[in-house]
Amino acid sequence: MNDKISFHPETALGQVLLRWWEGLENNRGDRAELRRAHNLTAIVLTGGYQHLYQMLLATGWPKEDKPENNWRNERLAAIAGLLAHVKVQDERSLPLAMSEGERPPFSELRFRRLLDSSSLDEVFGGLRRALPLVSYQANVLELANDVLLWSDNVKKRWAYTYRWPAKSAV
């Protein structure tokens, strides 16, 4: 994976992604179309995604010339689809938001299933179902980076961030 490709506030790609997400507030048609998209292929076929993709290409996003190199675009589709559901920027990481409170919005079992997801489609579906449970709030750029770089390292960081429920002593 190319370490130069990331969505941080100080990077051009991060700034473009954040501006695009903020623009969804005034472009409700794109937001609604992305929210209705039920899988990654449907997301890629939306104008909102294509607009983001073109903006990122102009900012240094790698143009994938071979099908085996298309993994970044697949992850970008998941990012766009998820961010269309995010209504409020939250400084907390998503695993923390999923686990806070007396009755966490995302159970330990659901969290384990999310981390055990075997495909990007499953990760997308799990995160898409998680967003309503955290009131559609997420740290936009952190979520984008985590989906872009989804791997065992990200899963472990999420596992350390999630507040696991205390088990009663036997």
For 12-21, how does the pLDDT look when each residue is reduced to its tens digit (9 = 90+)?
999 999 999 9
Domains of the chain (ranges; CATH) run 12-161 (1.10.520.40)
For 103-137, how does the pLDDT look when each residue is reduced to its tens digit (9 = 90+)?
899 999 999 999 999 999 999 999 999 999 999 99
Q: Cβ contacts of residue 147 below 8 Å, gap of 6+?
A: 75, 78, 79, 82, 123, 124, 127
Using CA atoms of 85, 88, 92, 98 in order, give the dihedral in degrees to the nearest 10.
-40
Cα→Cα distances 102→56, 129, 166, Å? 41, 20, 11
Residue-level pLDDT at 1: 41
What residue type is 106 in one-letter code? F
pTM: 0.92
Question: What percent of the chain is predicted at pLDDT more than 90?
Answer: 85
Which residues does residue 88 pair with via DSSP β-bridges, in sequence order?
Answer: 137
Q: Is the pLDDT of residue 65 over 90?
A: no
For 35-57, how does the pLDDT look when each residue is reduced to its tens digit (9 = 90+)?
999 999 999 999 999 999 999 99
Spatial contact of 94 and 136, defined as CB atoms under 8 Å apart: no
